[in-house]
Amino acid sequence: MKTIELPGLSAAPLNAATVVDGTIYTSGQVGRDRVSGETPADLEGQVRATIANLEYVLEAAGGSLATVVKTVVFLTDASDFAEMNRVYAELMPQPYAPRSTVVVGLAHDYLKFEIEVIARVAS
Domain that holds residue 6: 2-120
Q: What is the pTM of this model?
A: 0.92
Q: How many domains does the chain have?
A: 1
**Digit-coded pLDDT (tens) for 89-119:** 999 999 999 999 999 999 889 999 999 999 9
The answer on pLDDT for 7 being more than 70 is: no
Report d(CA 101, CA 30) in Å as an integer. 15
Judge contact between 84 and 41, C-beta under 8 A.
Answer: no
Name the strand (E) or helix (H) holding 120: strand 113-120
Judge contact between 9 and 34, C-beta under 8 A.
Answer: yes
